[in-house]
Structure 1
């Protein structure tokens, strides 16, 4: 496996974005609270709670300004780093052109005054300073190569300079955040979509933690590890591939040390009965999944596991027959797809299409329809209108419950006081949301590309 250099991590632009979003939502709530009480106090009098509310608004606004400024400072540091690499490529090309010209002049017995090579200490210092402020991976531009024989035609060589400048000057739009970024620091997926490195790195980390997103796919086409290596450090790439081993293992063994709980890969299983944790060294019995007990027999029941199973029985939860994960159905039909890929009936737990259970439970269908109607209504509906819409939503859900979301999603941009909430990741979005034209699933840009399968 190829490796990538690592850079010391100081901060994360994604964390700042999350904080700014959370604070903005707080500002909206405070504004709504203030407007709801407007006009209820006596004329010329302002209650104490209003002063407190205004003070809190100022504090939140100052925090938003602070994180926006920090994000801008990080962006400037990125630009300095990117400029330095472009300048270094141009300087190297100019030095090559200068040497070529000197050689031609010597061959013609002419006297030439060579332009001294430019010292690259300044650009090197830029790289050194940059590492103090940014977390961007080190390989930003692809290496530029000279001609095979080290020679070029006489005169200035404009092709390398033009290539470096074009790489830096051309701007593309990231498919997730819609920000403009230099083409030289963007990544193209096999489906043709282009993303900035920060967005692709973020969804790659999500795929490591979320089995339903692994392997990472864009438009249902797998993103190769070679592509992810452009945005992940060597340790992160290894973590991504280790996650693949974990998710591909049916009978998984995890460390019993509560301070560790790491996955133990199959190659660490000895004699099929015990395994050693690669992180902390704890030895585990692979049969009962408890700590190794040597000559004593396996415990048939574990108190903590049994307590969870009892709770699952009380609440009607189901356990996946393949990976043994516990699954709770909040709404939807009985056709369950576990993150590990197994399909089963939620009503009886049998493998899907091997039982005679109904596809829907009426109470869950009603809940799903009511949730959709309330989701799409920005203001409370009249009971009669709401009941009519719920009935129509029930019919639509029955017809499209197995939707594979073909074709383009419809973009909804109309203003909503509380924005839109993605049905897949539950994140709130303010500018727009994407809706499936068939089943009305709402998905953010990231989930539409990387989570819908």
Structure 2
């Protein structure tokens, strides 16, 4: 079967799969494993067809390049001709006593080729013209570039390495990722809910963008995490050594069965299944008592405990719920104000210390003015969206979002002056 027929068959099969997947959107129960497995099977087969289609394209390209391999090949004749470009003409003229060959025949004889087509003939004529120009001018042409050198290159805007354009992925915002960095964005979202959904510059990166860089197991894991993170009232296995997420299709009544260890978990108290009313959780009571003494707050949506380090009262939980840190109610539904004055002043002092460390000789009045200026800036930008750009700052310091230490550089928001690594400013904010 020729390549054209193969491509036609594959195109029709891909069209059928797209129609099936489009018809399944919005159907099926949330968290339904059967539905997820069906989608995974369709995605896997679609990727197989795409890979096969790419193989056909590559095969055609390789055949075309093979016809002009004399330009970049490594044959002994070619290496000799690089040292003595006149060799090609001498080889072509060695049988001048015979019938005069055509220009394409001469090129084929010169390079040991026994046949030519349109592409080869054009290439041979071009090479012969260059050799004739050398005979007339005495100028030796420079070495030709290899195919790899002619392939367009792009720089990954995460790791800053350079890759062939065909090995890069474009995010919806226009930033370029290498396949490894794009894969890491999706895998990180599976272990850190604050990075879900995968995004760059606040624009969500669709799954199909990373389908070719994720393995089948990684795709299945991402779909499972997507179902978990979209659930409001989540239930996890009560065994601390397991803690597997229990999908809604495995919950019957008030008991969920762990898909990994098959332990029954009460969906109300989140403890091992039991008869009658839920028992009192002494360890939870001790934790909540510690939270009250420490000034921690609890999300009313996912019940996670949160401790504020700096910033205003506006909290955005990992479950995407927004609430007031002071009272815990939905944001802007209380009269608590936007910030705590003491916390705001401490943050202003931290920022002032970066540029002008306090010492015994420093004028206290100047220091107070400097801190006051930062306080006023934080009051204006207490809900900074980081849209005014970032300033590059050399030197090792800690990212204030993921808390990783960057040994060489950091980025500083031009408005609120928070410190962020390159990944956080693109994928976390």
Please indicate the TM-score interval, normalised by the length of the shorter structure: 0.5 to 0.7
Partner of 2:260: 279
Calculate the aligned-residue CA RMSD, in Å: 3.5
For 1:1-40, list aligned pairs within 5 A.
Answer: 1=40, 2-3=43-44
**In the alignment, structure 1 residue 411 sits paired with structure 2 residue 388:** no
Query: What is the CA distance between 1:157 and its match in structure 2?
Result: 11
**In the alignment, structure 1 residue 233 sits paired with structure 2 residue 200:** no
Cα separation, 2, equivalents of 1:406 and 1:234: 36
Cα separation, 1, equivalents of 2:312 and 2:225: 29
Q: Which moved more, 1:364-373 or 1:255-264?
A: 364-373
**Cα displacement string for residues 186-225 of structure 1 (whole angstroms, at most 9, x for unaligned residues):** 1111222111122222222221122222101112211111
Cα separation, 2, equivalents of 1:166 and 1:391: 58
Partner of 2:376: 395
Query: What is the CA distance between 1:430 and its match in structure 2?
Result: 4.4
Partner of 1:433: 410
Distance 1:376 1:451, change over 3 A: farther
For 1:276-315, list aligned pairs within 5 A.
Answer: 276-293=257-274, 295-299=275-279, 301-315=280-294
Cα separation, 1, equivalents of 2:207 and 2:201: 16
Partner of 2:82: none
Cα separation, 2, equivalents of 1:377 and 1:209: 38
Cα separation, 2, equivalents of 1:405 and 1:223: 19
**In the alignment, structure 1 residue 371 sits paired with structure 2 residue 350:** yes
Cα separation, 1, equivalents of 2:255 and 2:67: 62
Contact in 1 for aligned 2:391/2:413 (Cα 8 Å): no
2:251 to 254, 257, 269: 269
Distance 1:228 1:386, change over 3 A: farther
Q: Which moved more, 1:320-329 or 1:361-370?
A: 361-370
Partner of 2:421: 444
Contact in 2 for aligned 1:97/1:157 (Cα 8 Å): no
Cα separation, 2, equivalents of 1:167 and 1:233: 30
Q: Which runs of 5+ in 2 are unaligned?
A: 1-39, 48-55, 70-107, 123-145
2:153 to 165, 171, 177: 171
1:252 to 217, 234, 241: 234
Distance 1:179 1:377, change over 3 A: farther
Partner of 1:198: 180
**In the alignment, structure 1 residue 338 sits paired with structure 2 residue 320:** no
Q: Which runs of 5+ in 1 are unaligned?
A: 7-84, 99-111, 117-152, 159-163
**In the alignment, structure 1 residue 186 sits paired with structure 2 residue 171:** no
Cα separation, 1, equivalents of 2:399 and 2:375: 20
Query: What is the CA distance between 1:426 and its match in structure 2?
Result: 2.2
SS of 1:181 mapped into structure 2: strand
Cα separation, 2, equivalents of 1:434 and 1:182: 27
Cα separation, 2, equivalents of 1:400 and 1:332: 10
**In the alignment, structure 1 residue 214 sits paired with structure 2 residue 196:** yes
Cα separation, 1, equivalents of 2:244 and 2:271: 14
**In the alignment, structure 1 residue 361 sits paired with structure 2 residue 340:** yes
Contact in 2 for aligned 1:422/1:444 (Cα 8 Å): yes
Contact in 1 for aligned 2:391/2:414 (Cα 8 Å): no
Distance 1:311 1:202, change over 3 A: same
Contact in 2 for aligned 1:256/1:291 (Cα 8 Å): yes
Cα separation, 2, equivalents of 1:289 and 1:206: 27
1:349 to 328, 331, 337: 328
Cα separation, 2, equivalents of 1:328 and 1:157: 74
Cα separation, 1, equivalents of 2:181 and 2:285: 41
Matched residue pairs, number? 314
Q: For CA contacts below 8 A with separation 6 or more, give which structure has more relative contact order.
A: 1
Partner of 1:127: none
Q: Which moved more, 1:201-210 or 1:244-253?
A: 201-210
Cα separation, 1, equivalents of 2:344 and 2:332: 19
